[in-house]
Structure 1
């Protein structure tokens, strides 16, 4: 769990072959994860134990920004959420 904002799910690249990727589940209604209420859940995939580190750092920064998480959770649709994430990741 990153900053009690984003649960970070991941698969072991030694067990499941995969490419580098990030999938976000964004919900306007919080979901309970452990003892927290969250609006964003991340799934990070990586082909090895190191390629994902720059992306993980960016997701960690995203989790620190409570204003961004709130704005993202209020996005009207997938396209708007995607634009917000793209803008955040390229800033």
Structure 2
């Protein structure tokens, strides 16, 4: 706050840039879109592969009924992830 005129000018420039961006969007001009870095998806996939490897080793020690329960649970979790992803994509555009 040592230079109030400089701060006001900077604020005015930021407001003018924001107004220009709004006008571009209102007129249908496409603004620069950010790249979707899907690190979360990669980490989730890697985690799922680790869990799958552990589950296969663990399943060999289970009874038939327990293997069926484990399989249906993993299929339910996978479908829940897919549905959650689809709902999130639809909601965010």
User: What TM-score comes out, normalization by structure 2 length?
Assistant: 0.25
Bigger share in helix: 2
